[in-house]
Structure 1
Amino acid sequence: MILKLKHSQTQKKLSNDDIHLMPCRIHAEGQYKITEYFKPYIDNEKSDEMKASFRGRSLQGKVVHLPENYIGVVAQAGKSPDTETKNLFVTSTFASMTFWNWDKPPSKNDPFLKAMDWIEIAEALHAPVVDVPKE
């Protein structure tokens, strides 16, 4: 399958208040009044830890900033007459998001946060080697 990512001139820039990576799948599509019902708050004891609840279960989260020179995109699948090609239209972009866990604070052991670290490590590994003259 071929994926084609198409940019639109009317992309919105979203904040981390708008983008949430939840520890579950939500089997629904459409527009919802999320801000009315999902109200994360910052825990006073730990300034970067956020708390919320979703469907009666407690969540703990933190804001994650994407590495420098990277952006996140929200894309919507378009209809394509060709079954081998799928068009994705970028509707929004973001530089940070809120990452959530059930009942425990996010840590460097979470696979998603490890992946964010790996981006910077991979860049360093694949960067050109510069010879430094010896003195």
Structure 2
Amino acid sequence: MEINIFPDQSTSNEIPSGQETNPNNSEIQIHQLPCSIYHNGRANIENYFVVNPIFQEEPLYETFFRGRRLVGRCVMLDDKHEGCIFKESSHTLNKPSSLTTNEEIEETRSWETSHKFHSFMVWEHDTVPLPSNNRLLSSLDWLEIANVVSS
């Protein structure tokens, strides 16, 4: 199982990040971690999730999360694709019923784009994230194959 972390404000780590679509237009960083966390809300990653570059042939990064070493890479989306973070909002409508004097309550769900991004970080335990060991990276390969087949 995986978790995505996206803070509301920019962090000081020097890795590429996406553009936020909120009014103050600050930058956000998207991280896809190889673990499960049973928490839904803000996390103080600015102080505790310290990302350090690893100097190798390609730009890689290293961090530690709950005592486990993670190796990451930044994935840049091409010009044809854009990442979005959606926020669910539900609305309750009072709908008058024609058969009775009571009103029916109808709940509708809608999704709004809260952030857009053009890059994100993918992390794996002790190994470099590759399409062979990461489902998200392999799905991006399928995007390219689908574009070739459809054209």
Q: What TM-score comes out, normalization by structure 1 length?
A: 0.75
Matched, 1:101 2:112: no
Closer, same or farther: CA 121–73 of 1 in aligned 2, 3 Å: same
Closer, same or farther: CA 24–57 of 1 in aligned 2, 3 Å: same
CA distance in 2, matches of 1:12, 1:75: 17
Q: Which runs of 4+ in 1 moved over 6 A?
A: none
Does structure 1 retain, via aligned residues, the 8 Å contact 2:73–2:121? Answer: yes
CA distance in 1, matches of 2:74, 2:67: 22
CA distance in 1, matches of 2:84, 2:46: 20
Q: Which has the bigger relative contact order, CA under 8 A and spacing at least 6?
A: 1
After superposition, the CA RMSD in angstroms is: 2.1
Matched residue of 1:121: which SS? Answer: helix
- Asked which structure has the greater CA Rg, the reply is 2
Matched, 1:39 2:54: no
Cα displacement (A) at 1:29: 2.2
Cα displacement (A) at 1:80: 3.1
Letter in 1 for 2:146: A
1:32-71 mapped onto 2 (5 Å cutoff):
32-71=43-82
Closer, same or farther: CA 115–67 of 1 in aligned 2, 3 Å: farther
% identical aligned pairs: 26
Cα displacement (A) at 1:68: 2.5
Matched, 1:114 2:125: no
Q: Which runs of 5+ in 1 are unaligned?
A: 1-7, 128-135
Deviations 1:3-43 (A, max 9, x none): xxxxx87484645xx11011112221222321100011111
Q: 104, 111, 125: which is aligned to 2:149?
A: 125
Does structure 2 retain, via aligned residues, the 8 Å contact 1:66–1:116? Answer: no
Q: 66, 76, 89: which is aligned to 2:112?
A: 89
